[in-house]
Amino acid sequence: MIKAKVCGINNSENLKSLITLPVDMVGFIFYDKSKRNCTLSSEEVISAFNKPHITAKKVGVFVDAPIEFVLKIHEEFALDYVQLHGQESIFYCQELKEHKVNLIKAFQVDDSFCYSNTTAYSFFCDYFLFDAKGENPGGNGIQFNWDNLIKYKSKTPFLLSGGIGPNDVDLIRSLDLPKLKSVDINSAFEIEPGHKNLDIVADFIYKIKRAEIFNTNSKLKQVANG
């Protein structure tokens, strides 16, 4: 089933409502140049997630941050994943992995991007994230050419990001990419930076996951009926 990550949350009440939806990952940006830089306290975040019915994972997003800072936030917020959205090296990832940090490494993609450049990172990263190359490290609200993803040959699963909007469900569903495990949505689902429109988010996630559930149930029925 395609998972859903909602990134750039920076509103406590919005967060509490968001994680009651079937969201798999929630991203908090720890980058002071971002319009969505997280100002929530660790107590607010941990308290929101500390409910029996909440299954979403907490993801901290960093851009070329000192490793000491990443480890500090990782511990304070009890992060499930760290997403690296800058020019972090393989050795940087290796050091974080040695501290038992689960990693998502983001890559900015354009038509000239060489997907084989991700291969060496596979030893240390749980997921990759492919985002459109733009003026900012992320959150540019633009798409890259998703057709080029057929060039990706690594075994590491990835998240698709960059300008995904509410009307992209059918296009995403049409992608024949076995390693695509999740979509990462952000700016196109906002009331304002850091505050998501929950109705639009819920509708998008329902359509993405309902399509998968429908297809799975149809296959099961076909098997049952011989």
pLDDT digits (tens, 9 = 90+) for 2-18: 999 999 999 999 999 99
pTM for the structure as a whole: 0.89
What pLDDT was estimated at residue 134?
Answer: 65
- pLDDT of 197-220, one tens digit each? 999 999 999 999 875 444 434 333
Question: Which of 202, 142, 207 minimizes the C-alpha distance to 14?
Answer: 202
- pLDDT of 138-173, one tens digit each? 666 779 999 999 999 999 999 999 999 999 999 998
Query: Domain coordinates of the chain in residue numbers?
Result: 3-224
Q: CB burial class (10 A; 0-12, 13-18, 19+) of residue 175?
A: middle
Provide the percentage of residues in the chain whose pLDDT is more than 90.
Answer: 83
CATH number of 3-224: 3.20.20.70
Residue of higher predicted confidence among 138 and 38 = 38
Which residues have a Cβ under 8 Å from the Cβ of 76 and sit 6 or more positions away? Answer: 42
What pLDDT was estimated at residue 80?
Answer: 98
Average pLDDT in the 74-87 region?
97
What pLDDT was estimated at residue 1?
Answer: 80
